[in-house]
Structure 1
């Protein structure tokens, strides 16, 4: 039973983790808005979430045992953090910094709103499960 409840929240847990990671990247961009030659970064949330969900189907880190020197070594790796991509600047700056504060503020606010929405959905799901268990 507890495994089923854990699986219910696996998607939301992955989404929250990626949103939190994206929030850190966006905050770093804002903090470095005046740093010369700083390149703004971001995470493609949809692609990262798809990749994280696809990773659930893979084996955990494993290595095949070789019984002959002619065997091909093989290994499976789990996914690391989401890949950070460099943002294409809309207007170049003289000092080489690619942070556009207007874009960063909008992305930061959007990500915050979506993070809060995910938390609200999880809260409602937990409350509905508790109500079902009490009946």
Structure 2
């Protein structure tokens, strides 16, 4: 029973997690809009969602090995281009070059930030409705 509930909610859980991580990347881009040589980063949401769902399925095997430490003084960590969900953060191409090397386009970043926030809220609404339906089905028995 628990496995079926997990499977029913897995898609939305994964999507919300990736949306939250993307929101952090977009907020970081906005915060560093005036930082010289800062390169704006983002994730390919569709590809990241497919990868995350493939990794979270019960039959999937781990696809990435952890980083190896070759000396005791090395820090444990994750690759710099990987975010928590395993998605690869990619550099966004600059629409218009700047003198200081910064690739953040504030208009595009704000639009992406708001779009991601709206989609996150929609995901919350969908999962809330799905949970209410599951509760109604459980209580009717």
TM bucket normalised to smaller: 0.7 to 0.9
Structure 2 SS opposite 1:99: coil
Bigger-Rg structure (1/2)? 1
1:44 is matched with which residue? 44
- The answer for unaligned runs of 5 or more in structure 1 is 64-78
* 1:84 CA drift (Å): 0.4
Q: Which structure 2 residue ranges, 5 or more long, are not aligned?
A: 66-83
With the length of structure 1 as denominator, give the TM-score of the two structures: 0.83
Structure (1 or 2) with the greater strand fraction: 1
Of 109, 113, 117, which residue of structure 2 is paired with 1:112?
117
Shift of 1:7: 1.1
How big is each residue's C-alpha offset from its partner over 1:28-52, in whole Å with a ceiling of 9 and x where there is no partner? 0000000000000000000001111
Moved over 6 A (4+): none
The partner residue of 1:132 within 129, 134, 137 is 137
Note if contact 2:23-2:116 (Cα within 8 Å) is conserved in structure 1.
yes
Question: Superposition RMSD on alpha carbons, in Å?
Answer: 1.8
Structure-2-length-normalised TM-score? 0.79
- Aligned pair count? 119
Distance 1:59 1:95 in 2: 44
1:12 equivalent in alignment to 2:17: no
**1:53-103 CA distances to partner (integer Å, 9 max, x unpaired)?**
222342248x9xxxxxxxxxxxxxxx9521001000110000000000000
